[in-house]
Amino acid sequence: MSVALTQPAPLISTSLQSLVQSWLAYINQKYPNPTYKLFTEATIYYRDQAHKDNWTSTPSCWDFWKIAKFGDWLKMKIGTATIRMGLFMSMQETWVGRQNPEHKYKYHIWCAALRPAPAGIKGKELIFWDNNWERTRARMMAESKRMIAVFALIGGQYKLYQHLKQKGKMNIYKIWIGGNGEHDLCLSKSVGWLGEILENGGLDGDLESVGFYNIGK
């Protein structure tokens, strides 16, 4: 599946959030899959209400009120589905304006999913899809870094992992990560990947066989 979304202006505006919401609703309706439940209300970014208040209280960030919190994703009712999915965002600049110089845009889009741990094991497996992952992995290998969460995950991904453990009271049995694609096309690649999973599945079996890496916690 190829989603025709061009990379937007530096900050995700209300109009773009509406467009992204429309695309999520579209792929969710076009590819009904009883195994998966996709959060279609918004892009997910905030750790909690206090984090959201920090951004939305700043005049230049008024349009961030539409973006969802981690808790909104976790509260989504999934019915008989077994795998929860969502579209997430990490800011590459702080709410006071400092930007990571390695990134052209002020945000990065990625996906996350939760599935049950294998039978007999209590907890969940956390799955990330990030179009920058292969570049991150290559850099980690070149720097001889261990494939563990604190090194392999970007800030927002690691914060989600911590949130699930601490506030969600979840036992995260394993963490998986995969993905590849053009550096500046994170939004279109991420939405496209979600559509592919809804259409064809792929997260309910052997993740290593479909290109995911199990990283240490």
Question: Once rounded to an integer, what is the mean pLDDT over residues 16-23?
Answer: 83
Per-residue pLDDT tens over the stretch 86-112: 999 987 654 344 444 444 557 799 999
Residue ranges making up the domain that contains 166: 14-215
Determine the Cα–Cα distance for residues 123 and 117; give it in Å rounded to an integer. Answer: 6
Residue 9 lies in a domain: no
pTM, rounded to two decimals: 0.86
In the prediction, which pLDDT does 185 show? 86
Residue 1 lies in a domain: no
Per-residue pLDDT tens over the stretch 185-206: 898 999 999 999 999 999 999 9
Question: Once rounded to an integer, what is the mean pLDDT over residues 131-158?
Answer: 94
Number of domains in the chain: 1
Checking if the pLDDT of 209 tops 80, the result is yes
In the prediction, which pLDDT does 99 show? 40
Neighbouring residues of 35: CB distance < 8 A, sequence distance ≥ 6: 81, 82, 83, 201, 204
Determine the Cα–Cα distance for residues 32 and 88; give it in Å rounded to an integer. Answer: 21
Residue 178 lies in a domain: yes
Residue 141 lies in a domain: yes
